[in-house]
A and B are shown apart, each in its own frame.
Chain A
Amino acid sequence: MKKFLLTLIAIIVIAGGGLFWFVTHKPGSPFDGETASAAPADLVHRGEMVARQADCVACHSTPDSKPFSGGLEMGTPLGSIFATNISPDKQTGIGNYTLADFDRAVRHGVTPDGKRLYPAMPYPSYVKMTDDDIRALYAFMMNGVQPQNVPNKPSGIEWPMNMRWPLALWNAVFVPSGTYAAKPQQDEQWNRGAYLVQAAGHCGACHTPRSVTMNEKALDEGGTDFLAGALLDGWYAPSLRQDHNTGLARWSEDDIFAFLKNGRNKHAVVFGSMAEAYNNSTQFMTDDDLKAISHYLKSLPGDPARDGQPWAYVAATSATGNAGKPGAQTYAAKCGFCHGTDGRGKNEWIPPLAGAASSLISHSESQVNVTLNGSARVVTADIPDAYRMPSFREQLSDRQIADVISYVRSSWGNHGGPVTPEDVKALREHTDPASSNPIVLQMR
């Protein structure tokens, strides 16, 4: 009996010690032991492009802060967390990070003192970035960015939920290991697109649905949930798969390219979170990279069962009686001058509501949100566009917004389903109007 107890205690101690080691250990880096060396200008320049691809600035800067000095508040169900200062300041930033430290933080979510980052930092995607890209990114962050002495804000998450070590176990289960492995059966352009979408681009962080354990349900084209559309932070990020209604089936590769390059095409204009992703990230990518992304996205099959009855335009006639519906008058007075009484928008400048993914997906959040709050200015090559969606939260009641969106979602063949005033009220209370200032976050 005594022997049994001793064995049990020994097992517990060993298992506990093993667990302690596992949740605090620092993963290895291919850069371990490498000493700092001067970064050539072209490496810094390449790193700047990687930083745009990864859109680091979107979270680690705010419109009012110096580049990369941190500060963006991210609400979680447990409390707010704040993006940290990643400028090369030695006291408050990452100025003391070696390349290996930097690699561990970006690709594995582990700080130099062994603490685990919250996966709000998209390391489950960045883990796929190549060693070359990490080296270039480090060169840019250390040499292209000005140090900013700005202390990090403490997170609002309280004990015991603020303990980070369980994340090591989460990582072990949900985070893939290793960099992107090219698929030899696919061509070079497809693989480049897959790499950008899955790794630095971290498109799935918004566009892939998450499980109850908060991990993305799929991290590459192997899963049918990959980029299948998801609700995040008051916006529904639509499917990027070949879904006729809610995805990209009606978009050509050129259409996707134009959307990422110019922020617009004849199907849609960037809005909500995508307007920021466009302003700060996709517009800076090279044409070849954007074409690769477009090529790759066109290879992801849709799911007719999820997507529903294929949309086709139905013209409003006096017989179908659009005019009598609730919301029709609000549409005519507030929406129709831009989006057209026929719902078809104006060329690529003002997006159609007829057949828009947001008019066809059962999630109404994006349409409610953009009507309440308007959208950010789309800024292309430093020039803000002439047309923007204004905020209607002060002009229209919850009932009026519900009616007009229900009108849009049931006209011209749309079948997204009705919206209630309660839906509008819920979003009104925890969203803010978009700034009318043109905002492109600067990195230098």
Chain B
Amino acid sequence: MQLQINNKTHEVDADGDTPLLWVIRDNLGMTGTKYGCGLAQCGACSVLVDGEIVRSCVTPLDSVIGRSVTTIEAIETDPVGKAVVAAWVNHQVPQCGYCQSGQVMAATALLKQTPNPTEDDIAAAMVNLCRCGTYNFIKTAVNEVAGRKEASL
């Protein structure tokens, strides 16, 4: 079947119930998107589908046919995504880094939908898990893209 990923058409030989994550990583070799829990609990596998955040480990392939998938590899082609990555670098958000591509995707989805999120909006949307505990840095970086200055930690 044909998939639109990062503005490229990929021909993929896989069953309709295959999780999108497996195809992205194993069939197409794009390993920026991480496998965390496999149960939509942690968010490490977050990607955008038509601009909305989804967890690719629980996204069956046949549910994204004809839709546009964006992964961390191409997030900087989106102006909001580019700003998010810049803020991430500016605040040196990652520690071990494993969850961070998912965090960047979640932040980009939030800021594309709600350019000026409140603190509550940020808390509600940024629910991906980070075992290093970089949550404060994440909040600071999201606030910066939203145009709110916050003392970096």
Residues of A within 8 A of B (CB): 329, 332-334, 337-338, 346-347, 349-350, 385-388, 390
Contact = CB atoms under 8 A, between A and B. Distances in A.
Given A333-B127, A337-B54, A388 B62 contact: no
Contact of B39 (A329, A349, A390): A390
Interface in B36-89: 39-41, 54-55, 58-60, 62-63
A337 B106 CA distance: 12
Contacts of A390: 39, 41
A337 B40 contact: yes
B124 interface: yes
A219 to B, nearest CB: 38
Choose among B18, B39, B62 the residue with the greatest number of A CB atoms under 10 Å from its CB.
B39
A347 B63 contact: yes
Contacts, number: 38
A334 B19 CA distance: 18
Contacts of B124: 329, 332-333
A346 B59 CA distance: 8
B126 to A, nearest CB: 10
Nearest to A392: B41
A417 to B, nearest CB: 27
Contacts of B16: 347
Interface of B: 16-19, 39-41, 54-55, 58-60, 62-63, 124, 127
Contacts of B59: 346
A338 B40 contact: yes
Contacts of B58: 337-338, 346, 350, 387
Choose among B18, B55, B60 the residue with the greatest number of A CB atoms under 10 Å from its CB.
B60
B127 A346 contact: no
Contacts of A329: 124
B40 to A, nearest CB: 4
Contact of B60 (A332, A337, A347): A347
A333 B18 CA distance: 23
A388 B60 contact: no
A346 B65 CA distance: 12
Nearest to B37: A390
25 contacts: A329-B124, A332-B127, A333-B124, A333-B127, A337-B40, A337-B58, A338-B40, A338-B55, A338-B58, A346-B58, A346-B60, A346-B63, A347-B60, A347-B62, A349-B17, A349-B63, A350-B60, A385-B17, A386-B19, A386-B60, A387-B58, A387-B60, A388-B39, A390-B39, A390-B41
Nearest to A388: B39
Nearest to B60: A349
Contacts of A337: 40, 54-55, 58
B114 to A, nearest CB: 12
The 3 residue pairs across chains A and B that have the minimum distance between CB atoms: A337-B40, A333-B127, A349-B60
A387 B124 CA distance: 25
Given A347-B60, A347-B62, A349-B63, 15 more contacts: A329-B124, A332-B124, A332-B127, A337-B40, A337-B55, A347-B16, A347-B63, A349-B60, A350-B58, A350-B60, A385-B17, A386-B60, A387-B19, A387-B58, A390-B41
Contacts of B41: 334, 390
A388 B41 CA distance: 12
A315 B34 CA distance: 33
A347 B19 CA distance: 13
Contacts of A386: 17-19, 60
Contacts of B60: 346-347, 349-350, 386-387
Contacts of A346: 58-60, 63
Contacts of B18: 386
A390 B60 CA distance: 17
B63 to A, nearest CB: 5
A408 to B, nearest CB: 16
A329 B58 CA distance: 19
Nearest to B53: A337
A265 B107 CA distance: 34
Contacts of B19: 386-387
Contacts of A387: 17, 19, 58, 60
A249 B41 CA distance: 34
Contacts of A332: 124, 127
Nearest to B127: A333
Nearest to A330: B127
Contacts of A333: 124, 127
Nearest to A341: B52
A119 B41 CA distance: 42
Nearest to B22: A386
Nearest to B17: A349
Contacts of B54: 337
A222 to B, nearest CB: 41
Contacts of A385: 17
A346 B18 CA distance: 12
A130 to B, nearest CB: 38
A347 B62 CA distance: 8
Choose among B17, B18, B63 the residue with the greatest number of A CB atoms under 10 Å from its CB.
B17
Contacts of B127: 332-333
A334 B124 CA distance: 11
